[in-house]
A and B are shown apart, each in its own frame.
Chain A
């Protein structure tokens, strides 16, 4: 106690000097802390043009540019084909939308999926295209949904041009879940976030894109490519359904109890006192 008291006397002198030093120190501290963090996500580029001249490969390995492909309103999705996370539910939802939307795919609009993984090949892309066209409930020409690949530089140019930022994480990628509407001139018109989309919403934004309008984002809840397991959702729902039945049974029993209890006589005024 005494020792620390002596120390205290000395330190308290230093203290007075240091208190205002502390205050001074905070300004550079704040400054030092303010640096841009590394980005994964979307930095919206509404109104600017997609990289029209990047050279990509189509499903047969032939070089194509987006300028050559985009003449109508276009849904652009950025994925990679080995994706174990949100890409599959996202593309499935796009397929659902194509099936339900009140516009004709290939005529009123088209879908272009670009892989940002340079190790994806046109062969895998072609397989993907065949698989997804099988999901279509009406005849859809292959040109209505393109699956493009490309080298790291060119695909990066495309993803950067729409503000889509991803990062390699071990052998997978961390990336946002989003679809991007492009006008017939290749301008970014609208972003729709998430991994599932409403046909009506997609239709409205395609119509805006067709008119060349740029419309601001509505709800920006970013889904990231993490462990998403559609299977487990099904388990949950069956569990909730079971529990729901249990609650209904309980409720029915309670009502029954009320009515039975009541028919025993009208002494209810004292029946439930403290």
Chain B
């Protein structure tokens, strides 16, 4: 990130610094989700059976499909960076485009999945959920909190990717100056890592 206008000393770009800043930001994200993981583990220890039953109502197929989608989108972001480093702008744009589309696909699946659960009455204070034992209410509370917060991060990631895509297209992110792409990539990978944890915790809990 550069300094301001009209300064006597030319603003320099400190890539290492920008990257360190990004990692520090990722740490705050890790601890943000960490709080949820902490609650999850505490409640799973208390309600092992209920969590087991809770997982059975979830659509495992969509959960697994979304895992493949995110893993692959992570690959394409990583490829985009290597491609840009090698000067292949076209491949970079294609890879980023695919990533964005995968991100949107992920959201669509999420939408289908949530509507299914909600149609079944399985949402906080929903008629079906209120009939279930307490532990399952907690499971669904955590399910919506975790996937919802993760979903918001996917939305933010897609927006960031779209902006970077535009930067690459306009040549303001270049093979020698691609820190913005790299940091966006880091963010997207972290979103992927969080999902790697959500899959077994929620969908494979049964």
Contacts and interface: CB of A to CB of B under 8 A. Distances in A.
Nearest to B75: A1
Given A4-B72, A25-B115, A33 B123 contact: yes
A4 B102 CA distance: 10
B186 interface: no
A33 B125 contact: yes
Nearest to B144: A33
Nearest to A7: B105
Query: How many residues of A sit at the interface, in one of the four size bands?
Result: 10 to 19
A11 B104 CA distance: 9
Q: Which size class do B's interface residues fall under?
A: 10 to 19
B118 interface: yes
A11 B115 contact: no
B179 to A, nearest CB: 29
Contact of A8 (B105, B107, B111, B118): B105
A103 B108 CA distance: 69
B105 A15 contact: yes
A37 B68 CA distance: 37
A174 B124 CA distance: 21
Contacts of A8: 98, 101-102, 105
B48 to A, nearest CB: 18
Contacts of B98: 5, 8
Contacts of A33: 123-125
A231 B101 CA distance: 60
* A contact patch SS: helix
A4 B101 CA distance: 11
B34 interface: no
Interface string B127-143: 00000000000000000
A35 B125 contact: yes
Contacts of B68: 4
A4 B105 CA distance: 11
Interface stretch (A16-24, A61-69, A180-188): A16-24
B21 interface: no
Nearest to A21: B111
Given A14-B108, A15-B105, A29-B123, 19 more contacts: A4-B68, A5-B98, A8-B102, A11-B105, A11-B108, A12-B104, A12-B105, A15-B104, A15-B108, A18-B111, A19-B104, A21-B111, A22-B111, A25-B115, A29-B114, A29-B118, A32-B126, A33-B125, A37-B125
